[in-house]
Amino acid sequence: MPNIDHSVEEFNQAIETNMPREKQSLFKKIITVIMALLILVLGIILGYRYAIGALPVKISLGFLDKIGFSQQREDFARLVQSSEQNAPVSMDVFWEVWQIVERDYIDPSKIDYNKMIDGAIQGMVWGLEDPYTAYLSPADNEKAGEDLAGSFYGVGIELGYVDGVIGVIAPLAGSPAEKAGVKAGDMILQVNDVAANLNEETSGWTLDEAVQKIRGPKGTKVSLTLRQPAESENREVEIVRDEIIVESVVLDFITQGDKSVAHLKLSRFGDRTQGEWDGAVTKILEKWHKNEIQGLIFDLRNNPGGYLDASISIASDFIKSGTIVSQKSKYSQKAYSSSGRAKLEQVPTVILVNKGSASSSEIVAAALRDDKGIKLIGEQTFGKGTIQDRRELSNGGGLHVTIGRWLTPKGDWINDNGLAVDIEVAQDYETEADEVLDRAIQEF
């Protein structure tokens, strides 16, 4: 077991010896921040594994401002001692590399201490071998917040990993990407942005890098080389970036023959979702009470998820009582129950899903299937069975960290497997017809 206090003393001496005096104060402050983050990330390493999923409400890390550096060192040593592996942890090589770069790197103008710290933090999180637990720089964290909170400039793709490659979880409804023909499940193999002098394969990229390089100013163009996992040929799409308005809810009423139904499309569980949802539910109930519709088609296709509390609230409009979802975390297990609103409890409903339905949309689909026996129509869902918490850091950055697994009301964990459908209907993207929607109407 390393002597943490001794290592820190040696490092402080090294700072005074090798670094100009005017940089020492700033540098020590930076190191204080990284040690605090080390404590946090090591705690995660010891308990959490694979991640991404529904996002609970943001949680602040204000407690880091209330403890001193000496306390952080004690906590760091305690965490190392409590490791199940009991592996020795040494920061010696980290400081060794830092000092070599500081002393010997050929171009001092390129040494940016803040970028070096960001890189070190990203490396720590990368060590979890979990692509969905990620440190976000202040700029990237701001972009991540835009996805759920409002609008941004880009192409409108929910990114994730498809067969280990940067890929499309789902194109956002009405986005430039959707209009250009980007599909759920597409692997993004290469990105070409002439204006940004970028033409790179995505191999080795993190999700953060992909977001940064695919987004851009309004009116600029980006070309993506795509391929579906089951296909052998690549295809290229050129997309003109635009303002992306994250519209959560779209409601229309469909009549085919003697059947009339409400078609409620929910594209994500974001900041605006609840208000939009409540308005749509009011319109559905007006039609239902007048006997103008026979039921509801709840469309969760290409819904990549979002906030956990939004999924619980929406499921509560169908379920009077009982468990919506259970969260199994490192130290406890918690069941989230229906709020009891059940406004749509009496309205016959079917749910549309596909491989772009993930996380929060899977929570809702599983709850309605398990509790009410509502049929799932379409294709097997994505299978994102873990929960991420988005935490704000003192530098304006963020940490997306896995805090638990979610289980269906029947106790199933669907990670990597997804939800099987009751009626399988594959969408033919070569036609304008919506075969899945047409099949759903037949249920009424």
Q: For CA atoms 173, 178, 184, 189, give the dihedral sign.
A: negative
φ/ψ of residue 397, rounded to 5: -80, -175
Q: 153: which residues sit within 8 A by CB, 6+ positions away? A: 215, 216, 217, 218, 241, 242, 243, 244
Based on the residue annotation, tell me whether 267 is a catalytic residue of this protein: no
CA dihedral 293, 170, 186, 238 (to 10 degrees): 100
Cα–Cα distance measured from residue 315 to residue 330, given in angstroms and rounded to the nearest whole number: 25
Q: How many CB atoms lie within 10 A of CB 211?
A: 19
Alpha-carbon torsion 236, 240, 246, 249, what sign? negative
- Rounded to whole angstroms, the Cα distance separating 131 from 139 reads 19
CA quadruple 44, 45, 47, 48: dihedral, nearest 10: 70
Which residue is catalytic, options 359, 360, 371, 389? 359
Measured CA to CA, the distance from residue 267 to residue 274 in angstroms comes to: 12
- Active-site entry in 186, 242, 370, 371: 370
Burial 92-106 (b: 16+ CB within 10 A, else e): eeebeebbeebeeee
Is 115 in the active site? no
* 336: helix, strand or coil: strand
Strand 398-407 and strand 323-329: the pairing is antiparallel
Question: For residue 134, which of 170, 160, 115 has the smallest C-alpha distance?
Answer: 160
d(CA 203, CA 180): 23
Q: What is the spatial distance between Cα 12 and Cα 205, in angstroms, rounded to a whole number? A: 35
- Catalytic residue status for 370: yes
How far apart CA 303 and CA 299 sit, in angstroms, is 9
The Cα 140–Cα 183 span in angstroms is: 24
Q: Tokens 């430039």 sit at which residue?
A: 176
Burial status of residue 376 (CB atoms within 10 A of its CB: 0-12, 13-18, 19 or more) = buried
* Active-site residue list: 359, 370, 384
